[in-house]
C-alpha cells in the first residue's frame, strides 16, 4: 500500500495534469524581437508570470491571498490582520519565533479582482500583481506576474525564470487549498 506522502504526490500530479494550466514561463513584450531587429533583448522588461483556472468564485481566490490565516496554509507565513491598501506588512519564511521576515508594501487592493504589492528582496523591490478574473461559469482565472527586476542582464533573466517557477508552485498550492482543502506549504518544502 502506498504511503500517505506518495498518495499526496499522486493527487498533486493528477491535479496539475487535469488543471487547465496556462504556464507562461518568461514574458517578453511583443515589441521586443531581438533576433529580427538585431538588438539586445531588453531584459529590464522581463516578467515572471503564472496562470491557472481555479474552480471557485473570484472572492474565494482573492481572500486566499488577502487573508493572513488562509495564505499561511499554502505559502508564506503571515502574522498581520489582512492586507490593507497603503499599509506595509511583514511576511515570514517559516512559522517559528525566529523566522526571517521581509517587507511587503500593499499598493492596490480591489476586491475581488486585483492585488498589487511591492516586496523586498535584498534591499530592492519588485512589483507583484494578482489578476483575478471571473468566468461566466463561476470559476476564476488567476494570473500572478512579477516585474521590475534590476541588476545585470543575466541576473534579471535568472530572477524572472525563478519567479515564474516559484509562482507556478504557488498557484497549484492555492488551487489545492481553495478547491480541495489540501494544505501544501510550498515555502517550507522548497528545495
pLDDT mean across residues, the chain: 82
Question: Quick check: 14 pLDDT over 60?
Answer: no
Peptide bond preceding 112: is omega within 30 degrees of 0, i.e. cis? yes
Q: Is residue 17 a part of any domain in this protein? A: no
Tell me which residue range forms the domain holding 125: 44-180
Q: Is residue 175 a part of any domain in this protein? A: yes
Domain count, the chain: 1
Question: Quick check: 39 pLDDT over 50?
Answer: no
Q: Is residue 79 a part of any domain in this protein? A: yes
- Return the number of other C-beta atoms located less than 10 Å from residue 184's C-beta: 21
Q: What is the pLDDT at residue 44?
A: 63
DSSP code at position 76: S
Three cell numbers, residue 107? 499598493
Contact indicator for 77, 97 with CB cutoff of 8 Å: no
Question: Quick check: 162 pLDDT over 90?
Answer: yes
* 38-43 CB contacts, 8 Å cutoff, 24+ apart: 40/153, 41/153, 43/149, 43/153, 43/156, 43/157
Question: Quick check: 40 pLDDT over 80?
Answer: no
pLDDT bucket at 3, cuts 50 / 70 / 90: very low
pLDDT bucket at 26, cuts 50 / 70 / 90: very low
Dihedral of CA 90/98/124/167: which sign? negative
Query: Which stretch of 28-32, 61-65, 103-107 has the lowest confidence by average pLDDT?
Result: 28-32
Distance of CA 137 to the CA centre of its chain: 24
Question: Quick check: 11 pLDDT over 50?
Answer: no
**Apex 127 CA angle, 122 and 133, nearest 5:** 145
State mean pLDDT over 69-90: 95
Bridge partner list, 144: 50, 130
**Apex 168 CA angle, 72 and 24, nearest 5:** 150
Q: Is residue 28 a part of any domain in this protein? A: no
pLDDT bucket at 36, cuts 50 / 70 / 90: very low
Question: Quick check: 22 pLDDT over 50?
Answer: no
- Domain at 155, CATH number: 3.30.530.20
Distance CA 142, CA 102 (A): 24
Question: Quick check: 186 pLDDT over 50?
Answer: yes
Q: Is residue 48 a part of any domain in this protein? A: yes
Q: Is residue 130 a part of any domain in this protein? A: yes
Percentage of the chain beyond pLDDT 70 is: 76
DSSP code at position 94: S
φ/ψ of 124, rounded to 5, equals: -110, 155
State mean pLDDT over 125-153: 96
Q: Is residue 96 a part of any domain in this protein? A: yes
Q: What is the pLDDT at residue 45?
A: 85
* 114 burial via Cβ count (<10 Å: 0-12, 13-18, 19+): middle
Q: Is residue 4 a part of any domain in this protein? A: no
Amino acid at each position: 500500500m502506498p504511503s500517505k506522502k506518495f498518495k499526496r504526490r499522486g493527487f498533486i500530479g493528477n491535479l496539475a495534469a487535469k488543471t487547465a494550466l496556462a504556464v507562461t514561463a518568461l514574458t517578453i513584450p511583443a515589441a521586443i524581437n531581438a533576433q529580427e531587429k538585431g538588438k539586445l533583448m531588453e531584459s529590464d522588461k522581463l516578467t515572471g508570470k503564472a496562470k491557472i483556472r481555479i474552480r471557485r468564485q473570484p472572492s474565494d481566490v482573492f481572500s486566499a491571498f488577502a487573508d493572513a490565516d488562509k495564505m499561511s496554509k499554502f505559502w508564506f507565513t503571515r502574522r498581520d490582520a489582512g492586507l490593507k491598501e497603503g499599509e506595509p506588512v511583514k511576511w515570514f519564511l517559516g512559522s517559528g519565533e525566529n523566522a526571517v521576515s521581509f517587507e511587503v508594501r500593499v499598493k492596490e487592493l480591489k476586491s475581488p479582482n486585483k492585488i498589487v504589492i511591492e516586496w523586498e528582496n535584498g534591499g530592492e523591490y519588485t512589483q507583484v500583481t494578482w489578476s483575478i478574473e471571473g468566468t461566466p461559469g463561476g470559476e476564476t482565472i488567476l494570473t500572478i506576474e512579477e516585474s521590475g527586476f534590476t541588476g545585470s542582464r543575466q541576473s534579471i533573466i535568472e530572477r524572472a525564470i525563478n519567479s515564474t517557477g516559484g509562482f507556478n508552485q504557488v498557484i497549484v498550492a492555492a488551487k489545492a487549498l481553495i478547491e480541495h482543502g489540501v494544505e501544501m506549504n510550498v515555502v517550507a518544502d522548497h528545495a
